[in-house]
Structure formats: structure tokens, C-alpha cells
Structure 1
Amino acid sequence: MDELLAKIAAEAGLEPSIAEAAIGHILAYLKAESDDPAVGKMIAETPGAADAVATAGEDSGDGAPGGMMGGGIMGLGSKLMGLGLDMAQIQIVARELVAFAKVQSDPETVDRALASVPSLSPFV
């Protein structure tokens, strides 16, 4: 994951900690919005992904308004913009995350995970 964070930091002009938080929010959204087992498999097989989700603090499990429940894609966008990312940076983070996940996990698994949440398609 350090390699991915360094690449995103350089390409998007972000601090690695911000890149990790953004990755965590994207993955937490994917996890919250999909019931496809491919999502869990992708996260489990991508080094650092589970830690990024935990760092993002999304998986409270209580459905509270502060989590991804009820926030939808707009909530995800708000969280990412709240980190200081603009749309171009969001797309860089998402694109690099997907490319990294496809190397670490089976590309078909990653594609299936992403397809299970169509609202992410504009970002990846």
C-alpha cells in the first residue's frame, strides 16, 4: 500500500495520509453499498485495504448518519472534498486504487466489485 500511496501522492499532489483516508472512504462506500462477495474478496486481497477502511472510520455498524448509511454517492463526495480533494484528484485516487487492486486481486473480482455499485462508475 505504501507504493500506492506514494504514487497517488505524487500524481495528485496529496499527502500520503490524505490519500489513505480517501482510499478508505471509497472502499468503505463500496463495502456499504454492495452485497456482492467480490467486494470483500477484493478488500481482503489488496494489501492495506482493510486498514484504510478502518482508518476512514466508516464501519461503525450502527447506521448512524455520520457513516456511509444514507449518505450515498453525495456523502462520499462530501467526505472526499472534506479531505481537500477536487474532482480530478478523486478520479486519480479511484483510478490508481482500481489499478492496484487489479494487480493484487483477480481483475475479474475487482471488475465485479465495481460493477456492483454503478454510482462509482464516473470516478473509475
Structure 2
Amino acid sequence: MEDLTRRVVDSTSLEPSIAKAAIGHVLLFLRDKAPGSHVDEFIDKMQGAREAVAAAQAADDGGVTQAIEGLTSFMGHGRADLNILVGKLGNLGLTEAQSARLIEEMVDRAKALIGDEGVAKIRAILPALAERSGVMPQQPGAMGETRPRA
């Protein structure tokens, strides 16, 4: 977790505490979207990740989550869940570019910990998040390709 936090700080210029909180929110989102999957393996293999997820669960967002959840019956859960996450990252002060870099760093770390198959499963969860934050997910075989840094 410390390595990922440092990489996110270096690529986004976020404060370490903000970067760690943002990582926790994304991990929580991924875990909720795919319980019992490679996301759990990713969390298990990254020391400190469980604590970051727990902190994200406990964070109060001033009622934003409840307001958006109230709309899920009209919008469908997938898009509303994504909007909740984007709102939480925004409340932490992340810009779209910082959110995009955060996602890229997390996918890179996941590849190192759980391999291509695990990353492919995580990427299957990320398309709407990546689209919303300005990063289009790469195909599973494209992980070794160089991506431009924001």
C-alpha cells in the first residue's frame, strides 16, 4: 500500500493522506462491484489495503452518498455507484486528471500483485469509471504498452 500511495503521490501531487483515502475509495468500489473476486486477492496481497478500505467505508461524505443512492431507483445502480465514487474522489479534492492517474497506478499495481488474469477481471469493472475519469481501459494484452502520463 505504501508503494502504491507513493506512486500515486508522485504522479498526482496529492498529499499522502488524500492519496491513501482515494485508493481506499477505489478499492471499496471495486470490491463492492466484484465480491469474492480478484479484487479481494489484490486487497489481500497489498499490506494496508484492508485498512484503507475500512477507512473509506467509515468516511462521512456529508450525505452525498445517501442523496445519490436515492436516485438509483431512477438511474440504475451501476451509474449511480460510479457517480458516488466520483463524488467521493471529488470531495477529496481530486481532479479528473488526478483520478485518471490514480486508476492507472492502481491497475499497474494490481498487475504486479495478481497478474494479467486478475487485472483483466478488474479492468472489466473499470470501463465506466475510466470513461468518467478520462482514462479508457486498455485491453488485457496491452498492459506492457507505454501510456502517456497526465
Question: Would you say the 8 A contact 1:26–1:76 is kept in 2?
Answer: yes
TM-score where L is the length of structure 1: 0.80
- Cα distance in 2, alignment partners of residues 47 and 104 from structure 1: 11
Larger Cα-atom Rg: 2
Counterpart Cα distance in 1 of 2:3 and 2:34 = 27
What is the root-mean-square deviation of aligned Cα atoms in Å? 2.4
Stretches of structure 1 lacking an aligned partner (at least 5 in a row)? 60-64
Higher helix residue share? 2
Secondary structure of the 2:14 match is: coil
Runs of 4+ in 1 over 3 A off after TM superposition: 68-71
Paired position in structure 2 for 1:85: 94
Equivalent residue runs for 1:28-67 within 5 Å:
28-35=28-35, 37-57=37-57, 66=66
Q: Percent identity?
A: 34
Gaps of 5+ in 2: 60-64, 73-79, 138-150
Which structure has more relative contact order (CA 8 Å, sep 6+)? It is 1
Q: TM-score, normalised by structure 2?
A: 0.68
Deviation readout 1:13-63 (Å, 9 max, x if unpaired): 10111111101101111111224622212221233322211121269xxxx
Please tell me whether the aligned partners of residues 38 and 114 of structure 2 are also in contact (alpha carbons under 8 angstroms): no
Change (3 A) 1:108 1:18: same
Question: Closer, same or farther in 2 for the Cα pair 1:39/1:4, shift >3 Å?
Answer: closer
> What's 1:98 paired with?
107
